[in-house]
């Protein structure tokens, strides 16, 4: 441990000499350091190019951002040792001339995707000694001129480098790197590009246990990691199922998927991504079937009313014709009174097809009426 501490101290001293450190000296006239400011001062000269606001209580909220945007001539900005937790979108959108940005020793845990939009000329970015656990590679895409990136002493275990990255130097030590297949792209970029990994010997794997003594640049990977690029597990953790029919059931499905993704992140991705995809497909199909069951209940009625068979019009006509033929074949009885004729007519029209497709037995209805009378 003592040797590691000495190596880290030596590296930091070398960084001070090379300009990659998260601290820099600026003109005292533009120095607002250690003034206990809780927000950006509004009396800063608009023509300032180098500004030091370190060791204050600044949170870089919306008001601070609006004040900062007025200093369009800034080329260097130091926000070290403040109270910044969240980097909002377009936090530095108007600082198109900024070349050095240092936001170290804060408590940053969230960086929105468009936080660095507008920093086309930025060459050095220092985010060391924060609480960053995940850094979306698309967040760094706007930094087209970036040459040096310092991410030391954060909580990053996985980092996928944007393809268009043309860095010269990068600092990654002090993070709990998970040297599973998910880190293969980073290792491949470190070994194939011209970037210099500062502190390579102390940028070690934290997991799995078998690779703890390896540098992230030299850790061996299984053959499955080389066959194709690993599938980022975080793409599935954002899946949410919504339904107005049964919110509890779909919430359980969401929790199941999230638990699976969290468990899969701790394993080598080359072995678990296929199982994860299969589980997601099963959940999607199950959700679709449940949705159909709630939205299309017609099949219930068909299932439970199968014994009520509707007669087709042709079937009704057939029964009526058969009955007519049968009635004509009966011997004609003379001297029938009108009441008997009524009975015979009722018998002939006893089976009439109703509008709903069912046969109505009017003979029975007539008999019931007579009995009532």
pLDDT band, very low/low/confident/very high, at 221 (cuts 50, 70, 90):
confident
User: Using alpha carbons only, how large is the chain's radius of gyration in Å?
Assistant: 39
Residue 215, beta-bridge partner list: 204
> Picking from 74-78, 198-202, 350-354, which range would have the lowest pLDDT averaged per residue?
350-354
Which of 30-39, 105-114, 252-261, 320-329 is predicted most confidently? 105-114
pLDDT band, very low/low/confident/very high, at 300 (cuts 50, 70, 90):
low
pLDDT (0 to 100) of residue 225 = 76
Statement: residue 128 has pLDDT above 80: yes
On the CB side of 176, CA atoms within 13 Å amount to 9
pLDDT (0 to 100) of residue 109 = 95
**Measuring CA to CA, how many Å separate 341 from each of 329, 332, 336, 364?**
16, 11, 7, 17
> Picking from 23-32, 191-200, 230-239, which range would have the lowest pLDDT averaged per residue?
230-239
Which of 163-172, 198-207, 228-237 is predicted most confidently? 198-207
Statement: residue 20 has pLDDT above 90: no
Q: Above pLDDT 70, what percent of the chain?
A: 57
Cβ atoms of residues 105 and 55 within 8 Å:
no
pLDDT (0 to 100) of residue 166 = 85
CB burial of residue 311 (10 Å; 0-12, 13-18, 19+): middle
Residue 333, beta-bridge partner list: none
> Picking from 113-117, 190-194, 290-294, which range would have the lowest pLDDT averaged per residue?
290-294
Mean pLDDT over 33-48 rounds to 91
Q: What is the pTM of this model?
A: 0.58
- For residue 356, the tally of other CB atoms under 10 A from its CB is 8
**Block residue for tokens 């709990």:** 176
**Block residue for tokens 């001129």:** 145
pLDDT band, very low/low/confident/very high, at 80 (cuts 50, 70, 90):
very high
pLDDT (0 to 100) of residue 48 = 93
For the stretch 25-39, pLDDT in tens is 444 347 899 899 999
Q: How far apart are CA 227 and CA 79, in angstroms?
A: 43
Cβ atoms of residues 84 and 59 within 8 Å:
yes
pLDDT (0 to 100) of residue 277 = 84
- For residue 296, the tally of other CB atoms under 10 A from its CB is 9
For the stretch 322-339, pLDDT in tens is 555 445 555 555 554 554
**Block residue for tokens 């009108």:** 338
User: How would you classify residue 335: left for phi > 0, otherwise alpha for psi between -120 and 50, otherwise beta?
Assistant: left
More confident residue, 204 or 297: 204
Statement: residue 129 has pLDDT above 60: yes
Statement: residue 56 has pLDDT above 60: yes
pLDDT (0 to 100) of residue 288 = 84
Statement: residue 13 has pLDDT above 80: no
Statement: residue 164 has pLDDT above 80: no
Residue 207, beta-bridge partner list: 178
pLDDT (0 to 100) of residue 51 = 95
């Amino acid at each position: 441990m003592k040797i590691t501490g000495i190596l880290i101290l030596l590296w930091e001293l070398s960084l001070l000499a090379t300009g990659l450190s998260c601290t820099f000296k600026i003109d005292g006239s533009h120095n607002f350091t250690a003034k206990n400011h809780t927000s950006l001062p509004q009396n800063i000269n608009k023509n300032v190019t180098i500004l030091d606001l370190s060791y204050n209580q600044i949170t870089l909220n919306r008001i601070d951002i609006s004040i900062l945007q007025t200093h369009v001539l800034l080329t260097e900005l130091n926000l070290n040792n403040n109270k910044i937790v969240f980097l909002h979108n377009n936090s530095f959108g108007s600082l198109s001339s900024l070349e050095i940005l240092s936001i170290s020793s804060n408590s940053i845990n969230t960086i929105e995707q468009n936080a660095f939009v507008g920093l086309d000329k930025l060459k050095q970015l220092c985010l060391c000694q924060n609480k960053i656990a995940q850094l979306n590679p698309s967040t760094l895409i706007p930094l087209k001129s970036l040459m040096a990136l310092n991410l030391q002493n954060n909580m990053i275990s996985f980092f996928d480098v944007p393809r268009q990255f043309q860095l010269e130097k990068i600092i990654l030590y002090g993070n709990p790197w998970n040297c599973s297949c998910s880190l293969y792209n980073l290792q491949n970029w470190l070994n194939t590009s011209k970037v210099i990994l500062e502190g390579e010997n102390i940028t070690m794997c934290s997991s799995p246990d078998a690779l703890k003594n390896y540098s992230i640049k030299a850790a061996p990977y299984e053959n499955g990691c080389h066959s194709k690029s690993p599938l980022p597990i975080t793409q599935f953790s954002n899946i949410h199922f919504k339904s107005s029919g049964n919110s509890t059931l779909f919430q359980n499905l969401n929790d199941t998927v999230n638990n699976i993704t969290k468990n899969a992140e701790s394993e080598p991705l080359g072995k678990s991504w296929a199982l994860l995809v299969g589980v997601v497909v099963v959940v999607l199909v199950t959700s679709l079937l449940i949705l159909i069951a709630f939205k299309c209940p017609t099949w219930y009625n068909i299932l439970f009313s199968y014994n009520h068979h509707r007669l087709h019009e042709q079937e009704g006509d057939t029964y009526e014709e058969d009955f007519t033929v049968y009635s004509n074949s009966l011997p004609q009885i003379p001297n029938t009174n009108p009441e008997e004729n009524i009975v015979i007519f009722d018998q002939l029209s006893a089976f009439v097809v109703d509008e709903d497709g069912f046969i109505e037995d009017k003979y029975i209805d007539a008999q019931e009426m007579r009995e009532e009378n």
